[in-house]
Amino acid sequence: MKTIGKYFILLLVLAACSQNDDAGDVLGEPQTLAEMIAQGPVELEGVISCASGSENENEVIVYLYPRLGARNIRYFETATADVDPNDYENYTELEITTMDYFNGYLLQIKRQITTEKWVIVTFEEEGVLQVSNPIRLKHLTQNTQFRNGFHIGGTSGMPIFSWGNIATPFDAIYFQVVSDANDNLLSGTYTHEAIFQYYKTENVVLNITQGTPPDLVLGEEYNFTVLAVSEDNWVNLIGQKRFSF
């Protein structure tokens, strides 16, 4: 009986140690954005993302480019806009649902928000936490404009898009997309100038086009979309127009 009692006590000790180890593993997992970043490895400015207002009241739309291999997309907000956006302790994670944009080439996160905030989006890529720059929501004080008054010219399947006449004083960079009639993204580029020619990249400062885009076909319809983005990643203007040549 004494031997059996010793074995029983040993089993209880081992079980307790196992439970403590499991609890330690759970407690060791990063629970906040600040903990996630502190744990590393991390790449700040690693997610291409911005946000705009909507034609629906109080709705904001966050856009992100999920590179191939991106997984575990997470979304964080501050309580208000009156905080330090670079202090990651100010952010709280919220559950979100992503929606396809340009048939999944980009993703959207739509939120009903009645106060302005800062937003950060993250995802994991090859074991590295990729973190977006803080995004300042301005849908109440400087809501996104929706315009289509830009110019499309050019010939030989190489249209020139220009939108200087509708640009805003707050613009820092422009994201432009040429897509087909089914909304499949053909090219996605960024320029500092309010002009882009398909498909010339002399003034392109960032390019998310995968591979070489196809030639445009005479007589077929296409779409052009431009987002005018400020330094704090808020979209001041969205322009969209269907075209053919």
Q: Are residues 126 and 205 in the same domain?
A: no
Q: Are residues 113 and 188 in the same domain?
A: no
Rg (CA), the chain: 24
Convert the pLDDT of each residue in 86-130 to its tens digit. Answer: 999 999 999 999 999 999 999 999 999 999 999 999 999 999 999
Task: Write down the pLDDT at residue 154.
Answer: 84
Cα 129–Cα 133–Cα 137 angle in degrees, nearest 5? 130
Task: Spell out a b/e string for 89-109, using b for 16 or more CB atoms within 10 Å of the CB, else e.
Answer: ebbeeeebebeebbeebbbbb
C-alpha span between 199 and 27 (Å, rounded)? 51
Specify if 18 maps to a domain.
no
CA atoms within 13 A on the CB side of 108: 13
Q: Based on the structure, what is the number of domains in the chain?
A: 2
- Look at residue 6 and tell me whether its pLDDT is greater than 60: no
Encoding tokens for residue 182? 């089914």
What integer best gives the mean pLDDT of the chain? Answer: 89
Specify if 219 maps to a domain.
yes
> Domain end: 113, 136, 159, which one?
136
Specify if 124 maps to a domain.
yes
Listed in sequence order, the residues at least 6 apart from 31 whose beta carbon sits closer than 8 Å to its beta carbon are none
- Look at residue 131 and tell me whether its pLDDT is greater than 60: yes
Convert the pLDDT of each residue in 166-217 to its tens digit. Answer: 999 999 999 999 999 999 999 999 999 999 999 999 999 999 999 999 999 9
- Look at residue 83 and tell me whether its pLDDT is greater than 80: yes
Specify if 27 maps to a domain.
no
Q: How many helices and strands in the chain, by DSSP H and E? A: 2, 19
* Sequence letter at residue 47: V
Specify if 232 maps to a domain.
yes
> Domain end: 136, 162, 190, which one?
136
CA dihedral 188, 129, 81, 146 (to 10 degrees): 10
Q: Are residues 108 and 42 in the same domain?
A: yes
Specify if 22 maps to a domain.
no
Give the strand pairing for 235-243 and 145-147.
Answer: parallel
Specify if 7 maps to a domain.
no
Helix (H) or strand (E) holding 238: strand 235-243
Task: Write down the pLDDT at residue 29.
Answer: 56
SS (H, E, C) 81-94: CCCCCCCHHHCEEE
Q: Are residues 128 and 57 in the same domain?
A: yes
Q: Are residues 152 and 207 in the same domain?
A: yes
Q: Are residues 82 and 161 in the same domain?
A: no
Strand partners, 169: none
Q: What is the CATH number of the domain that holds 82?
A: 2.60.40.10
For residue 88, the enclosing domain spans 33-136
Specify if 168 maps to a domain.
yes
